[in-house]
């Protein structure tokens, strides 16, 4: 495994902790060598030391996203024992000649049989140049004997994969000139979450839900990805990117595809990715009238005062970068015709939570006309992705007493009540899948381009029309009022962000 950007945050905070967790559970190959590549002048021992120090900082730290309960010296020793380091400029062809010679030695010493996984943990401007340099140096070729590949070469590319439809197509064209599609792993760490993967099992392993999973029974779907954090140290990145590019064509659309896709022919990579691609192709391009943007002002989040986005480090005092996006989407196919999908994602919101809420059509009120029941609220099925992973179902029962009255109750399943906790940073499954050659959880070129197509009209409009009232939502709130108006226009409302972890009301006492 060759990691470009070996000294960066992604490597230290996520990739190496994930590799450690895989090693601890015995899921790494017996013969594994890890080669770090970066500009910094250091040797392998110094690199290993910096990785170990970061790993140690996660132990006993409940606020850390990289959950490590303890460092097993034997496990770390074996992992670190296979580490080496190559220093050089990523734009310098000489680096790749040095790397080619180094990998020959590694293949011999570590008995890796020539299989190499290249991980691009670098800024997106380096994606195409690195791949082209690897191609020129002959490092992407799978040597064949009698037509049979003797080893494999795979490349993992982080997001953002392009910044709009045109740049995504250009990037695909450049890398496909050097790689076959089966060698390319466009990673989205959201798909590494167990609860995201379990959506498919929930839908297709239970005969109860599929008959009602359509426009006849579902009124609308709400997908929320809310964060309490601000931009933290990513001011420069966010100024160029914004919430739409950062979250919607990748993370949020992946959740949408899991909910909306047709049953696959099987659980192999091609079958699942084909059905996801069908969803993206059926998505109608979003008009600017169906999109809302926001930027957080000062406020209180989790009891602490926080500054406005424009007061964050590396952010312009008059910045127009959005930190919140809401959209109404339509899927033009038989299953979902007429069912709106509402998406929203934002920073500095009331609570950290990711959920998919499916609102069913209400039952007819006729049987209750002569009772105290004035209306029948809809049933909600909520898939809780984080932080309290699980599923809840909200429905109506009769309230105890001599008169006919209804109460809203819920049934809730929590992962923590059924399954043991395993240290996980969200990259373990994805790294394991790359190593075994399973592309199920990775995006194809056509999928990437289709998702950019859907949001391109909004990107174009926002580029030419600056927002009028930024900041337009208070930190610690549910977002801007314009997002509420988006649903109110359809006689619907957003589910509150700051609710119980299972998304429904507290039982009566």
Check 251, 414, 421, 469 and give the catalytic one. Answer: 251
**H or E stretch at 383:** strand 380-386
**Cis previous bond, 425, omega within 30:** no
Residue 87: exposure state from Cβ atoms within 10 A (0-12, 13-18, ≥19): middle
Residues in the chain: 509
3-state secondary structure of 472: coil
Catalytic-residue membership of 24 = no
348 Ramachandran zone, left/alpha/beta (phi>0; psi -120 to 50): left
Q: 458-463: list long-range contacts, CB under 8 Å, 24+ apart.
A: 458/244, 458/286, 458/287, 458/288, 458/291, 458/327, 459/164, 459/244, 459/245, 461/288, 462/244, 462/288, 462/293, 462/322
Pairing of strands 148-149, 144-145: antiparallel
**Cis previous bond, 471, omega within 30:** yes
Q: Tell me the chain's radius of gyration from C-alpha atoms.
A: 25
Instruction: Report in angstroms the alpha-carbon separations of 276 from 143, 263, 361, 484, 504.
Output: 33, 10, 25, 29, 30
Q: Cα(305)–Cα(315) distance, rounded to whole angstroms?
A: 19
Beta-carbon contacts of 113 under 8 Å, excluding residues fewer than 6 positions away, are: 31, 107, 150, 151
CB 103 within 8 A of CB 35: yes
Tokens of 495: 């589910």
Q: How many helices (H) and strands (E) does the chain have?
A: 15, 19
> Taking the mean position of all CA atoms in its chain, how far away is CA 379?
27
Compute how many other C-beta atoms are within 10 angstroms of the C-beta atom of residue 318. 8
Angle between helices 44-58 and 73-81 (to 10 degrees): 150
Closest to 68 in 3D by CA, of 5, 2, 19: 19
Residue 489: exposure state from Cβ atoms within 10 A (0-12, 13-18, ≥19): exposed
DSSP calls for 99-132: HHHHHHHHHHHHT-TT-EEEEE-S-GGGHHHHHH
Write out the catalytic residue numbers: 251
């Amino acid at each position: 495994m060759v990691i470009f950007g070996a000294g960066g945050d992604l490597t230290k905070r996520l990739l190496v902790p994930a590799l450690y967790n895989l090693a601890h559970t015995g899921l790494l190959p017996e013969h594994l060598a890890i080669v770090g590549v970066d500009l910094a002048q250091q040797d392998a021992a110094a690199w290993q030391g910096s990785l170990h120090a970061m790993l140690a900082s996660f132990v006993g730290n409940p606020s850390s996203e990289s959950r490590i309960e303890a460092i097993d010296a034997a496990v770390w020793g074996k992992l670190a024992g296979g580490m080496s380091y190559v220093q050089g400029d990523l734009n310098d062809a000489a680096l790749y000649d040095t790397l080619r010679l180094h990998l020959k030695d590694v293949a011999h010493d570590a008995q890796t049989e020539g299989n190499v996984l290249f991980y691009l943990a670098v800024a997106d401007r380096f994606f195409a140049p690195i791949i082209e340099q690897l191609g020129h140096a002959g490092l992407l070729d799978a040597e064949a004997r009698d037509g049979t590949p003797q080893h494999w070469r795979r490349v993992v590319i982080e997001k953002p994969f392009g910044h709009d439809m045109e740049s995504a197509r250009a990037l695909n064209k450049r890398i496909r000139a050097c790689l076959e599609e089966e060698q390319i792993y466009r990673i989205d760490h959201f798909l590494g979450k167990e609860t995201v993967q379990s959506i498919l099992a929930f839908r297709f392993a239970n005969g109860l839900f599929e008959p009602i999973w359509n426009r006849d029974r579902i009124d609308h779907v709400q997908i929320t990805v809310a964060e309490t954090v601000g931009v933290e140290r990513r001011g420069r990145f966010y100024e160029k990117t914004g919430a739409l590019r950062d979250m919607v064509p990748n993370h949020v659309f992946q959740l949408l595809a899991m909910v909306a896709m047709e049953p696959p022919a099987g659980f192999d990579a091609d079958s699942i990715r084909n059905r996801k691609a069908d969803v993206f192709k059926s998505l109608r391009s979003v008009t600017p009238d169906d999109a809302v943007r926001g930027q957080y002002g000062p406020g209180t989040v989790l009891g602490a005062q926080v500054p406005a986005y424009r007061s964050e480090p590396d952010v312009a005092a008059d910045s127009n970068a959005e930190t919140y996006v809401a959209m109404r989407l339509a899927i033009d196919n038989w299953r979902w015709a007429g069912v709106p999908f509402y998406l929203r994602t934002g920073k500095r919101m009331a609570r950290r939570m990711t959920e998919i809420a499916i609102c069913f059509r209400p039952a007819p009120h006729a049987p209750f006309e002569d009772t105290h029941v004035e209306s029948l609220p809809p049933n909600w099925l909520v898939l809780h992705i984080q932080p309290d992973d699980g599923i809840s179902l909200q429905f109506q029962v009769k309230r105890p007493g001599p008169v006919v009255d209804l109460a809203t109750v819920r049934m809730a399943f929590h992962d923590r009540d059924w399954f043991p906790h395993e240290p996980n940073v969200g990259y373990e499954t994805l790294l394991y899948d790359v190593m075994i050659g399973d592309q199920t959880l990775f995006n194809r070129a056509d999928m990437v381009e289709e998702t950019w197509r859907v949001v391109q009209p909004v990107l174009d409009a926002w580029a030419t029309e600056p927002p009028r009232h930024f900041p337009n939502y208070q930190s610690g709130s549910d977002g801007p009022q314009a997002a509420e108006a988006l649903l109110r226009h359809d006689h619907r409302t957003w589910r509150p962000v700051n609710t119980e972890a299972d998304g429904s009301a507290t039982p009566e006492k």
